Amino acid sequence: MQQHLLASAEIEEYANLVTQQEPDTAAAIADKTRNTLQYTEMLTGKVEGRFLSMLIGLTGAHRVLEVGMFTGYSAYMMARALPEDGEVVTLEMNERYKAIADDCLKDDPHAKKIKVVMGNALETIPKLQGPFDMMFLDADKEHYPEYYELMFPKLKTGGLFVVDNALWYGEVTDPKDRKAEAIDKLNHTIKNDPRVENVLLTVRDGIHLARKTGDDHGTG
């Protein structure tokens, strides 16, 4: 089933039009994904990719954790905004997707900032060493609440937690399946979490931002 984003096709198209061009490597990832897999819905795409780059620039993040790399589009857009010694640790479990990322990134100078950890993220996250300055959650929706619990202790104070698909094509307003229920649950968990300040943006499919204001240092 083709699911549609929240804004009209015209508005999405206009936002794309007036957002600066995507870098060549990002365009190559999108092309190869389309040609190899025949689907691109999972890509964050140009507008959100630019948004993630901008968040890195605005926050001055050095170290980022991404859960759900797919073919590397968002990992690349974040990596290229990082300083030379910055790092995106990105988690993925599908070798086929990683092969596309590897192929498109092999000659790009920003690729050295991307570290891919393969395996089930629910098992690999606990083994990671924090702190991270920014986190981007974009993996299987059913487990969003569990990911938040696993990831959040590794976010530094003042760090930014970013959740993709937080509106799930509008289905969170009246959840009818496990994915919508899980996303809705996480949205409320974040809102009621005294350790963060939050805002849910109606950009694309909903981007939930939570800034950690508590005083643990993300080494958990």
User: What residues make contact with ligand SAM under the rule CB under 6 A?
Assistant: 42-44, 68-71, 73-74, 91-94, 97, 120-122, 138-140
Using the minimum distance from each CB to ligand SAM, give the nearer residue, 51 or 73.
73
Q: Could you give the CA distance from residue 25 to residue 73 in angstroms, rounded to a whole number?
A: 9
Long-range Cβ contacts of 13-22 (<8 Å, 24+ apart) = 15/47, 16/45, 16/46, 16/47, 19/46, 19/47, 19/50, 20/50, 21/46, 22/46, 22/49, 22/50
Using the minimum distance from each CB to ligand SAM, give the nearer residue, 102 or 216.
102
Q: How far is the CB of 130 from ligand SAM (least distance, A)?
A: 18
Using the minimum distance from each CB to ligand SAM, give the nearer residue, 71 or 187.
71
Using the minimum distance from each CB to ligand SAM, give the nearer residue, 2 or 192.
2
Q: How far is the CB of 21 from ligand SAM (least distance, A)?
A: 17
Q: How far is the CB of 41 from ligand SAM (least distance, A)?
A: 8
Q: How far is the CB of 40 from ligand SAM (least distance, A)?
A: 9
